Amino acid sequence: MAAEALSDVFRFFADAGNLELITPPWLRFEILTPRPIDMRAGRLIDYRLRLRGVRSAGRARFTAWEPPLRFVDVERRGPYRVWHHEHRFAERDGGTEVHDQVRYAVCGGAL
């Protein structure tokens, strides 16, 4: 049962359309890449968001794709100087643990 739940949780987070649901609403995050999106390593996704009141377009590349355990998205173009986001999933106590690690740097120094 837990393995099925792990796959379900991975599938939810890996669906680019759900990024709009799980991103804080104040960022007004929007996927621009036409759907459905065939997710895999190397996939590029274009998006738009509003950061500190400024609308910005960006592009992310998925550099790792290891269902149902892990995937990584890295900003190729966008509002950050650096954006490296690793998503990891593991079975824990009959459920699924989700671990996100984000390394980022903003343009113009500290916020």
Q: What is the pLDDT along the chain (111 residues), one digit of tens a residue?
A: 456 799 999 999 999 889 889 999 999 999 999 999 999 999 999 999 997 788 999 999 999 999 999 999 999 999 889 999 999 999 999 899 999 999 999 877 655
d(CA 10, CA 70): 8
Please report the pLDDT score of residue 52 as a whole number: 79
Nearest alpha carbon to residue 54 among 27, 18, 15: 27
d(CA 98, CA 38): 22
Helix or strand or coil: residue 2?
helix
Q: Where are the alpha helices (DSSP H) in the chain?
A: 2-14, 19-22
